[in-house]
Amino acid sequence: MKGLNKKQYDKKKLAALLVLILLVGGGASYWLLGNDKAVEDEPLLATVSVGSIENTISASGSLKPSELVEVGAQVSGLLQILHVDVGDVVEEGQLLAEIDARVQEERVKASRANLDGQRAQLDSRKSALELARINAERQEGLRAANATSVLEYDTAMNNLAAADANLIQLEKQIEQGEASLQTEVTQLEFTKIYAPVPGTVVSILMNEGRTLNAVQMAPTILSIADLDTMTVQTQISEADVSKVKAGMSVYFTTLGNGERRWYGTLRQILPTPTVLNNVVLYTGLFDIENPDGVLLPEMTTQVYFISSSAENVLIVPMGALSFIDNAAPPAMPGSAATEGGAAGAAPGQMAAGGERPEITPEMRERFRQMRQSGAGAAGGPGAGGFPGGAPGRGFGTARLTRPGERSLAKVTVMKDDGTREEREVVIGLTSRVNAEVVSGLAAGEKVVAGIVQNDAPAAATNTNNNNFRPQFMRF
């Protein structure tokens, strides 16, 4: 009985081991091979729409007040009263501060007293001159009658000349005294400081009770800035400065308000560069109106110079294009791409209405002739609109063109019934993302812009499991 039980026990153990092997093997096969069916990749569709294309040159900058005036003291003394605070808006001629004026007032009194004394002497000098003139006239008559001596005559003439000189000297002293008095009055007026320009008080450097010394230089008390118009100082790199010109359209954003754009026109580029960490930077200046006061001094800005743009045109993703060649025929009339952001929307408006402009045989023949003549070869001036550009063949090749240039490309159009159509299109201005469709497509059409890869079976996607081999347990 005992032997029989051991034999039955061995059979059960063997059966359990076989069942375990089958389970482990089946599970491993299911996990490794998978039972999912392969799913085909789907095309990524993009809709041809009306929009804008923009190519920009970026730079960093900062905001400065368009006008900044440092108000200083022209006389020495104790800063007695400050009538304004930082942030106050002041008008031209408004009283800003007062300096202790006691010394200047005493000087004015002394000058006036001295001038009054000189004016009192003026009547006496005039009377002396009149008496000397009468005496000289009398000696003239006596000399004609030979009734006076030569000494008395000469003395009378000398007294007349001396009296006249004394009067002139006193009159000049009075003029000098009046000038000195005016100087002292002006120095007294300087003890009251008025706003030279309208604006906002942006800083106060001297506090009440501070002693000012204006002997060698005028100490700055406060600064007034015009914040209604701000100036953007942007640092343009050496590599980009040749592409940026005065009069170019430009816009910028701030760190605190990245969604809002402020537009302006580049005023000038300063010829003297700034070298920072061996990087040569040139300063560009343009002004911007600030009526709502949102822009403040020293704000950091991200500046974008608009090198080319097209507005209200048909746009298609670059990934949907396969450029046939690099030929760039002459600009066609009615181009929507213009320098500096100007818009010419004729082609876009025509296509946006639902009518698809066809590529005429003349246009195709022009491309063919330019291809045969070698115009716009890869790497040449016509390659994508820039010298040394990459060849245009290839799906989704990134390329930038100048306004007015044209390229021929192919797109795959997905029709409503699910069928595909290869179509030639004329491409205008391009950026790194979108391209302007001059002709060949209509708004609302769908084009293939790429491939959407669907999820593959687990055994195909998980490469780490391909070499997995189950190890059976020992009992």
pLDDT in tens, 122-165: 888 888 889 989 998 888 888 888 888 888 888 988 998 998 89
Q: First and final CA of the chain: distance in angstroms?
A: 25
**Nearest CA to 224 among 244, 202, 240?**
202
Q: What are phi and psi of 178, to 5 degrees?
A: -65, -40
The proportion of the chain whose per-residue pLDDT surpasses 70, expressed as a percent, equals 72
Task: Give pLDDT, residue 123.
Answer: 85
Torsional sign, CA 254, 258, 261, 267? positive
For residue 329, what are the contacts with CB-CB under 8 A and spacing of at least 6?
Answer: 363, 366, 367, 370, 406
**Nearest CA to 336 among 347, 325, 351, 328?**
347
Burial class (CB in 10 A: 0-12, 13-18, 19+), 401: buried
Task: Give pLDDT, residue 42.
Answer: 81
pLDDT at 70 over 90: yes
On whether residue 347 sits in a domain, the answer given is yes
Domain boundary, last residue among 190, 205, 226: 190
User: Distance (Å, rounded) from C-alpha 81 to C-alpha 99?
Assistant: 7
- State the pLDDT confidence band at 416, using cuts at 50, 70 and 90: confident
On whether residue 134 sits in a domain, the answer given is yes
- State the pLDDT confidence band at 230, using cuts at 50, 70 and 90: very high
User: Distance (Å, rounded) from C-alpha 209 to C-alpha 190?
Assistant: 17
441 & 469 share domain: no
CA-based max dimension of the chain: 195
On whether residue 303 sits in a domain, the answer given is no
On whether residue 462 sits in a domain, the answer given is yes
420 & 316 share domain: yes
pLDDT at 75 over 50: yes
Task: Give pLDDT, residue 373.
Answer: 52
Segments forming the whole domain that contains residue 21: 1-39+456-475
315 & 374 share domain: yes
- State the pLDDT confidence band at 455, using cuts at 50, 70 and 90: low
463 & 413 share domain: no
- State the pLDDT confidence band at 340, using cuts at 50, 70 and 90: very low
Highest mean pLDDT among 281-285, 406-410, 448-452: 281-285
pLDDT at 375 over 70: no
443 & 467 share domain: no
The residue behind tokens 């041809």 is 48
Q: What are phi and psi of 164, to 5 degrees?
A: -65, -40
User: Distance (Å, rounded) from C-alpha 319 to C-alpha 336?
Assistant: 22
Task: Give pLDDT, residue 391.
Answer: 33
DSSP for 29-44, written as a single string:
HHHHH--PPP---EEE
Q: Give me the mean pLDDT over the 396-410 stretch.
A: 63
Q: Give me the mean pLDDT over the 427-456 stretch.
A: 84
Burial class (CB in 10 A: 0-12, 13-18, 19+), 471: exposed
Q: Give me the mean pLDDT over the 216-220 stretch.
A: 86
On whether residue 89 sits in a domain, the answer given is no
314 & 446 share domain: yes
Q: 420 near 406, Cβ under 8 Å?
A: no
pTM of the entire structure? Answer: 0.62
Torsional sign, CA 409, 412, 415, 419? positive
On whether residue 402 sits in a domain, the answer given is yes
402 & 468 share domain: no
28 & 116 share domain: no
339 & 473 share domain: no
pLDDT at 329 over 60: no
238 or 474, higher pLDDT = 238
Structure tokens at 112: 């006036």
Count how many domains the chain has: 3
Q: Give me the mean pLDDT over the 240-264 stretch.
A: 91
On whether residue 377 sits in a domain, the answer given is yes
Task: Give pLDDT, residue 29.
Answer: 63
Mean pLDDT score across all residues of the chain: 78
**Nearest CA to 266 among 278, 279, 282?**
282
On whether residue 199 sits in a domain, the answer given is no
181 & 117 share domain: yes
Q: What are phi and psi of 324, to 5 degrees?
A: -75, -45
User: Distance (Å, rounded) from C-alpha 309 to C-alpha 364?
Assistant: 26
Domain boundary, last residue among 168, 190, 212: 190
Domain boundary, last residue among 190, 209, 228: 190
469 or 63, higher pLDDT = 63
Q: How far is Cα of residue 197 from the mean position of the Cα atoms in its chain?
A: 26
355 or 302, higher pLDDT = 302
- State the pLDDT confidence band at 34, using cuts at 50, 70 and 90: low
Question: Which DSSP letter does residue 354 get?
Answer: T
Least confident of 106-120, 156-170, 201-215, 359-373: 359-373
User: Distance (Å, rounded) from C-alpha 224 to C-alpha 297?
Assistant: 12
142 & 25 share domain: no
467 & 360 share domain: no
